[in-house]
Chains A and B, each alone.
Chain A
């Protein structure tokens, strides 16, 4: 079994490493510091750096610039030119933020049309740009070649026009390549194990140690001549933990039939009750004791969370079961049930996927099936190929994850740890790929 997982792992590791990403070298012209920036002084040059936003649905231009720290609290207003039409696309952006995006928003879908050429100019100002200045920037008489424009309050410095730039939509989002590869590997793993399970090849699932606690609990309870109580929680038939709870009920009922004692199943939902009655009846016939199956032992209490807890509590105090099973979907009411079960001295075996309730079950019950363990227990009992295949496939994925993490440790120690150049690069590559 482990050998096959290793083969699968090598295949996936190979696929992951062949896709190294070329680093985009961003050339940039640094801005002269403010001292030399006098009205007649040197111009900003083609200050803005333009590119189409990659991996997007089009209609997006990335505008970035390098602002020297002396200019970090200046403001930048960006003017776009399309043919002879000019438009102010962004005002008063902090120079230190280093980038802005001119994109289509939900309201205005035609701001940027793919494939058309745009030219951008930056207007640098010490204070917020005035409204007249904004109007002036877009009027036709303005000649954009001039370096500085002054208005009543301050001097604005214009950069050269940079461009042209076109926006385009990309057909494949490169950033999500790793997700694609992982999805392919995982789906392949699932299908592989489904076929095996369907062909009847018995895939091995270890015995969940909670299950032999079931044997012991039912045995001890019958010695004391006490009934067994099985509580399915407040889930519905469509909830996965309730389905798993019903499977485990089948096993417990079969054991109870063999020991010829009584099993009580108080239910929260009528549909779950009828299903439970079917499961118990079938288990009793399987154990060869259909005669002692009593339909009324599986009864409906109420469909209200704490009302159900109070009802089951009362029954526990009256019937004093020797063993209590809490298997299914539980919320805050689980505490009342587990507490009363403990106070009457019953052996309690709990199981749920609700991570919020698990700590309380672990503290209050003798044995707890934690999340996935409950699923595995129901699969161990019922050997349904559908579930068997998926549990083993998930195990396969866990092997892949663990191996990649171990690889991370090795690279982590050698790369950053001992500063071995190439391993360091490999280490960062691994992080970037994920």
Chain B
């Protein structure tokens, strides 16, 4: 029984190293985990895939740095798909703290697919207004977004020529860390019948599931797992796919820790009981 005794008191730092290894190694080796895209994610992918060339997609950045690993990979995969199909993303931001992240992702993928700013895509940045803005977009986008994110008038960009309101957007994609999506579904979806797709953090994805069942949204991407599925569909494995391997092995490691710790605990308890306790 000595080894249980010793193992139960190994140094905390040894466990930290173990968890670090289990996260780093899969990121380097990028093992091929069979990520099977689920229906809610596939629905979004196929919808965007069959959009006619030149149609516009409104992307709303409603997350911040704390949920970057779960949202950024999906943003990049979606943008790759849009540029590949000549679909024009229009980016707006509801969470100011997410603006730099949205811009970073957009510029990175635009450079990668050499898309031209103002022709193939545009970034309108953050404007306060929340619900009033969502309703305003039903009438005229320029009421709220007369300037782009660098304060240049939107009318100087060809992409904005025939964009006025929701009718001009084939799809609204909300990347959500909080509950802003409830307002999108109620106002953009409910009042203006705008087609909506949502990407949520793993924590809040289950809450939005019934929107998908009731067809108020066309699809739902949940956390890094959803993002990985989208990367597999776009067959450009990147952070999310690599991340999913590390995520899986870390979960298994923690589960093994719990199981092993409890075995040692129960063995210890029986030993004490057998000795009748001092």
Contact = CB atoms under 8 A, between A and B. Distances in A.
* Direct touch of chains A and B (CB < 8 A): yes
Given A96-B193, A343-B9, A90 B139 contact: yes
Contact of B193 (A92, A94, A339, A343): A94
Contacts of B136: 105
B226 to A, nearest CB: 23
B145 interface: no
Contacts of B191: 97
B211 interface: no
A105 B193 contact: no
B248 interface: no
A314 to B, nearest CB: 13
A94 B167 contact: yes
A92 B132 contact: no
Interface string A88-121: 0010101011000000011100000000000000
B157 interface: no
Given A97-B192, A105-B136, A106-B132, A339 B167 contact: no
Contacts of A339: 12
Contacts of A105: 132, 136
A283 to B, nearest CB: 32
Given A97-B191, A97-B192, A105-B132, A92 B167 contact: yes
B132 A97 contact: no
A106 B192 CA distance: 20
B141 to A, nearest CB: 13
Nearest to A344: B9
B66 to A, nearest CB: 13
A339 B27 CA distance: 29
Overall SS of chain B's interface: helix
Contacts of A97: 191-193
Interface in B103-161: 132, 136, 139, 143
Contacts of B132: 105-106
Nearest to B8: A343
Q: Which of the four size classes fits the interface of chain A?
A: 10 to 19
A107 B144 CA distance: 11
Contacts of A94: 167, 192-193
A170 B183 CA distance: 25
A319 B193 CA distance: 66
A106 B132 CA distance: 9
A92 B136 CA distance: 14
Contacts of B143: 107
Contacts of A343: 9
Contacts of A106: 132
Contacts of B193: 94, 96-97
A128 B166 CA distance: 13
Contacts of B12: 339
B145 to A, nearest CB: 14
A305 B18 CA distance: 25
A51 to B, nearest CB: 17
A97 B193 CA distance: 7
A111 B191 CA distance: 21
Nearest to B165: A92
Max count, chain A CB within 10 A of own CB: residue among B132, B136, B139: B139
Interface in A136-178: none
Contacts of A90: 139
Nearest to B166: A94
Nearest to B167: A92
B173 to A, nearest CB: 20
A219 to B, nearest CB: 16
A336 B136 CA distance: 49
B277 to A, nearest CB: 13
Contacts of B164: 92
A105 B136 CA distance: 9
A200 B232 CA distance: 69
A13 B167 CA distance: 47
Contacts of B9: 343
A90 B132 CA distance: 16
A343 B132 CA distance: 55
A403 to B, nearest CB: 27
A63 to B, nearest CB: 13
A134 to B, nearest CB: 12
B202 to A, nearest CB: 15
Contacts of A96: 193
A96 B192 CA distance: 10
A343 to B, nearest CB: 7
Interface string B180-208: 00000000000111000000000000000
A343 B8 CA distance: 8
A186 to B, nearest CB: 26
Contacts of A107: 143
A92 B193 CA distance: 13
A343 B261 CA distance: 12
A168 to B, nearest CB: 22
A105 B9 CA distance: 66
A343 B193 CA distance: 58
Interface string A340-353: 00010000000000
A94 B136 CA distance: 16
A92 B132 CA distance: 20
6 contacts: A92-B165, A92-B167, A97-B191, A97-B192, A105-B132, A128-B167
Interface of B: 9, 12, 132, 136, 139, 143, 164-165, 167, 191-193
What 7 pairs across the A-B complex have the smallest Cβ distances?
A: A97-B193, A92-B167, A94-B193, A343-B9, A96-B193, A106-B132, A97-B192
Given A92-B167, A339-B12, A343-B9, 4 more contacts: A92-B164, A96-B193, A97-B191, A106-B132
